[in-house]
Amino acid sequence: MMEAPLFKKRSMTCGVALFACAVFSLVTISIASGRPFRTGKVPGRFGCATCHLAPRGGGERNLFGKDYERIAIPAGEEYTKELGALDSDGDGFTNDQEFPAGTHPGYPDSKPSGT
Ligand SMILES: [Ca+2]
């Protein structure tokens, strides 16, 4: 009769620990899967830095990222013709010209050469 409450307490502790592990796993998976979702929506190969100042993403956006936020997110996370036709960083080249050239559409110092 004395073992029953102790067993019950340990079971409850294990249950709480399992629940905490499950929540932690779900949060980790959600964060990890968020990155490929957005980086797969733009044609460039700059990863999270396509839109964010920080190379690993999060926080303030660069000039292209601000246009992405304004145009692509309301359009259902789509790289639209309107976004491609913009020159987000004001360097004289549209975003559609910069991505194929391998230059960054969010920084005016990065622009196609030879034109
Ligand atoms: Ca540009």
Q: How far is the CA of 110 from the centre of ligand 1 (A)?
A: 8
Q: How far is the CA of 25 from the centre of ligand 1 (A)?
A: 40
CA of 86 to the centre of ligand 1 (A): 8
First to last CA, the chain: 87
pTM of the predicted structure, to 2 decimals: 0.68
Confidence bin at 27 (pLDDT 50/70/90): low
Q: Which residue has the tokens 């975003």?
A: 95
Per-residue pLDDT tens digits for 35-66: 557 778 888 889 999 999 998 888 999 999 99
Q: From ligand 1's centre to the CA of 104, what distance in Å? A: 7
